[in-house]
Structure 1
Amino acid sequence: MVVNLATKATLAEIRKSVEGLIGERVLLKTNKGKRKANVREGILEVAYPSVFTVRINAGLDIERRVSFSYSDILTDTVEVTLCQNVNVS
């Protein structure tokens, strides 16, 4: 049995990937357990040493900022996907 453990280098790679998406529109899928998941769209704002923040439009002109740790991505609690530009007429 082989067990791959996360290292600081793994988290550093995730952080660099997230830093490359700053200012981009991303799709966040957060797993809440027991087959529950939230999917939201937002703009990745800032990547701090331990966490990153995403600005989400919650509707009715209300904006929220949510933060996640890089280990959330590592453990598949959060999936971050770059949104493709779609022209909506």
Structure 2
Amino acid sequence: MGAPRAISEIKRDLETFVGSKIRLKANRGRNRIIESEGVLESIYPNIFVVKVDERKVERRISYSYADVLTETVELFVYDNKDDEIRIASAN
């Protein structure tokens, strides 16, 4: 098992997918795992924002790059064949 990636590398990976449809899997603690689909809306120095449409309501959820580093959040992007590719991970 290799060393964990730096936060700057995770941010650089996410920058290429701004505006893309993604699937998000977030561990909210106490065995609560939230899975949703949305669009990676924007990238900021310490956080990234995902726009999610749930039950006809548009929400924006922000996560930090440290959430990805600690594997609290996993992100997957759809390629042109509707296959999922994991885009942000700690390793």
TM-score, normalised via structure 1 length: 0.80
Please, which of 40, 63, 79 is the counterpart of residue 36 of structure 2?
A: 40
The structure with the larger Rg is: 1
Stretches of structure 2 that go unaligned for 5 or more consecutive residues are 83-91
Please, which of 55, 58, 61 is the counterpart of residue 63 of structure 1?
A: 58
Which stretches of structure 1, 4 residues or more, deviate above 2 A after TM superposition? 83-86
Q: CA deviation at 1:32?
A: 1.4
RMSD: 1.7
TM-score, normalised via structure 2 length: 0.79
Give the corresponding residue for 2:19: 23
Alignment length, in residue pairs? Answer: 79
Task: For 1:49-60, list aligned pairs within 5 A.
Answer: 49-60=45-56
Please, which of 60, 67, 74 is the counterpart of residue 72 of structure 1?
A: 67
